[in-house]
Amino acid sequence: MHPFQCVLRARRCLRRGPLASVSWLLLRTCRAHSSVPSSACPSPQRQQEDGVWKDFSSRLATGPTFQDFLRSASVPPEQPSSSEVEDPPPYLTVDELLGRQRRVYLETYGCQMNVNDTEIAWSILQKSGYLRTSNLQEADVILLVTCSIREKAEQTIWNRLHQLKSLKSKRLRSRVPLRIGILGCMAERLKEEILNREKMVDILAGPDAYRDLPQLLAVAESGQQAANVLLSLDETYADVMPVQTSPSATSAFVSIMRGCDNMCSYCIVPFTRGRERSRPVASILEEVRKLSEQGLKEVTLLGQNVNSFRDNSEVQFNNAVSTNLSRGFSTNYKAKQGGLRFAHLLDQVSRIDPEMRIRFTSPHPKDFPDEVLQLIRERDNICKQIHLPAQSGSSRVLEAMRRGYSREAYVELIHHIRESIPGVSLSSDFIAGFCGETEEDHLQTVSLLREVQYNIGFLFAYSMRQKTRAYHRLKDDIPEEVKLRRLEELITVFREEATKANKSFVGCTQLVLVEGPSKRSAADLCGRNDGNLKVIFADAEMEDATDSRLRVRAQPGDYVLVKITSASSQTLKGHVLCKTTLKDSTAYC
Ligand code: 5AD
Ligand code: SF4
């Protein structure tokens, strides 16, 4: 028998050719690979206990027929409702798709998108009857939601897998066998390589395959390895309401789009997360409304290129109006037209609850038309904070990175944003030591950091990623020690400038959304100002400005006014003045 069994399922995917409208679920049998450790297959005792293994195994060995392929391929390409258990494929019964109270431990690596993906994956598994545990020892299934953006991120996962290997091998035979899964970008990038290298990995699910988790785990129950790493053109998990990990949280992330079409030459994201696609506006508004009803006070709209949002799902909005890019910016792809754009979404989202702060990340500098900037200026509950990833201060390097702008165009945009939104807080991402970066290029980045004086910065050493344009066309010619030295220099300059920028808050009063106790001292509380800077203040009794007869203490989710007394590159400190509301008070100096 062939080591892979393939099942066609109806869904739009990225596979080209005659089978372009279907995706593949790859199932690998452990019998076909004698090197798979015996722990990956159920013990004879377990086989007897379950009584399903033999039957399941023979069904799987026979595999789906050609008729099964045709039947499932002809199903209309609509997503199943997540509230129902999907029709099982021919080799699984409905019962096998159920979680049977197995305990799942989820571990998240990487960006906020992965935090949101974890909540989506958990929402899907919960509906299938799995339980969640925060205790690794108690887990029957361990799922790592992974990141591939830099080599170091992947190394962390390989190290973690080695630790989990020993947990798996020490597992008591009286317990159900431990199953381990890799989800997200690393599953997508490395595919079978993970299954071959780490034989104890049971399942792989790429970023567009979380709906298949119950199926993949059902297959893994019998000791088979299972994988779905197909990318989709339209999967946005619009109907999957993510489950908030912490019930006391004051803020939530709402995914509004997935994927990236920019193809910056250094970036693996378009290969691991696929093509750009936006979630329908109505489903986003519904999710934000629910979060508001639950009492959440802050929503961050999430996406790889959040401001490139374009909902084409409603035909009447698919006109031929072409896109306004920021002045001096271009794209690597053909101009897109029509659809409901980010300004429309931001407007609608911000109207839902005037007491709910709205943020968004991560945007691309090319997509900041004036409508977006004006909306941010006008609406009290849209935070005046913009992330504007520059990546480099050298036009030569920006061209090699295929960012679609020069240093001059970027700086002009910064001026325009500062004029449009007085007091705006700015943050950025930078890469040190990209292919061909000279000392002069590096100094240009240093000078950009000085010129803009960002409040928040994320700085990285360049890490060459296979598949990217830079991997194929450019040379990773900056020695590691030079990359690290340049990175250190950027960090030092960023900190000096951020300290200066943040010191301008001293003496001002900031509106702070309280998050909870400070990590450093139980006597202090911690929250964030509009610009997303952390603000620490003593937990003291204060006036409630909405009812001056009351003396209260700040609770998570409250808005308070804090007078700032000191500032560093990362934090503001001050004393609390009163409890207030978002619409009744603004920060002042
Ligand atoms: N090496 C280093 N940093 C990278 N980033 C993306 N790809 C790479 C890479 N190959 C950084 C960029 C991006 C952020 C999310 O990660 O700065 O904006
Ligand atoms: Fe990567 Fe560029 Fe897309 Fe950001 S915009 S995810 S850096 S390709």
**Beta-ladder partners of 181:** 143, 203
Judge if the beta carbon of residue 210 lies within 6 A of ligand 1: no
Q: For residue 304, how far is its CA from the centre of ligand 2 (angstroms)?
A: 7
Q: Are residues 186 and 311 in the same domain?
A: no
Could you give the CA distance from residue 580 to residue 304 in angstroms, rounded to a whole number?
A: 34
| DSSP3 helix / strand / coil % (the chain, rounded to 5) | 35, 20, 40
Q: Where is the domain boundary, 228, 261, 276?
A: 228
Q: Are residues 198 and 270 in the same domain?
A: no
Q: Are residues 223 and 285 in the same domain?
A: no
> Is residue 293 one of the residues assigned to a domain?
yes
Residue 457's H or E segment, with its range, is strand 456-461
Which is it for strands 277-278 and 203-205: parallel, antiparallel or unpaired?
unpaired
Tokens of 58: 């023979």
Ligand having the closest approach to the CA of 363: 2
Residue 510's H or E segment, with its range, is strand 509-517
Is the confidence at residue 254, as pLDDT, over 50? yes
Q: Are residues 192 and 272 in the same domain?
A: no
> Is residue 192 one of the residues assigned to a domain?
yes
Q: For residue 264, how far is its CA from the centre of ligand 2 (angstroms)?
A: 6
List of E strands, 112-208: 131-132, 141-146, 179-184, 203-205
Q: Are residues 215 and 258 in the same domain?
A: no
54 touches 47 (CB < 8 A) = yes
pLDDT higher at 101 or 357: 357
- The CA-atom distances, in angstroms, between 555 and each of 92, 544, 577, 581 are 49, 12, 14, 13
Judge if the beta carbon of residue 463 lies within 6 A of ligand 1: yes
pLDDT tens, 184-212?
999 999 998 999 998 889 999 999 999 99
> Is residue 199 one of the residues assigned to a domain?
yes
What's the domain count of the chain?
3
The confidence score (pLDDT) of residue 37 equals 35
> Is residue 567 one of the residues assigned to a domain?
yes
Place of tokens 């100096």: 589
Q: Which of 49-58, 224-233, 275-284 has the lowest mean pLDDT?
A: 49-58
Q: For residue 213, how far is its CA from the centre of ligand 2 (angstroms)?
A: 27
The 3 state secondary structure assigned to 76-119 is CCCCCCCCCCCCCCCCCCHHHHCCCCCEEEEEECCCHHHHHHHH
575 touches 538 (CB < 8 A) = yes
Q: Are residues 108 and 196 in the same domain?
A: yes
Q: Are residues 221 and 256 in the same domain?
A: no
Closest CA to 514 of 553, 481, 545, 558: 558
Ligand having the closest approach to the CA of 260: 2
444 touches 452 (CB < 8 A) = no
String of b and e for 507-525 (b: at least 16 CB within 10 Å)? ebbbbbbbbbebeeeeeeb
Q: Are residues 211 and 257 in the same domain?
A: no
Single pTM value for the model: 0.84
The confidence score (pLDDT) of residue 74 equals 37
Q: Where is the domain boundary, 169, 199, 228?
A: 228
Q: What average pLDDT does range 535-548 have in this prediction?
A: 94
CA 523 from centre of chain: 33
Q: What average pLDDT does range 168-193 have in this prediction?
A: 95
We report the CATH number of the domain holding residue 551 as 2.40.50.140
Q: Are residues 562 and 513 in the same domain?
A: yes
Q: Are residues 207 and 253 in the same domain?
A: no
Top mutation candidate among 431, 459, 494 for ligand 1, by most atoms within 8 Å of CB: 431
The confidence score (pLDDT) of residue 318 equals 66
> Is residue 206 one of the residues assigned to a domain?
yes
Tokens of 165: 């290997």
Question: Coil, helix or strand for 536?
Answer: strand
Q: Are residues 283 and 355 in the same domain?
A: yes
We report the CATH number of the domain holding residue 209 as 3.40.50.12160
Top mutation candidate among 429, 474, 486 for ligand 1, by most atoms within 8 Å of CB: 429
The confidence score (pLDDT) of residue 156 equals 97
Q: For 408, phi and psi rounded to 5 degrees?
A: -60, -45
> Is residue 421 one of the residues assigned to a domain?
no
Band (64; pLDDT cuts 50, 70, 90): very low
Q: Where is the domain boundary, 197, 228, 259?
A: 228
| Residue 104, domain extent | 94-228
> Is residue 444 one of the residues assigned to a domain?
no
CA-364 nearest atom, ligand 2 = 5
Q: CA quadruple 150, 153, 156, 160: dihedral positive or negative?
A: negative
The confidence score (pLDDT) of residue 16 equals 34
Q: Are residues 101 and 221 in the same domain?
A: yes
We report the CATH number of the domain holding residue 275 as 3.30.750.210
Q: Which amino acid does the sequence have at 82?
A: S
Ligand having the closest approach to the CA of 457: 1
**Beta-ladder partners of 525:** 517, 537
pLDDT tens, 394-438?
999 999 999 999 999 999 999 999 999 999 999 999 999 999 999
> Is residue 553 one of the residues assigned to a domain?
yes
Q: For residue 151, how far is its CA from the centre of ligand 1 (angstroms)?
A: 11
**Beta-ladder partners of 340:** 311
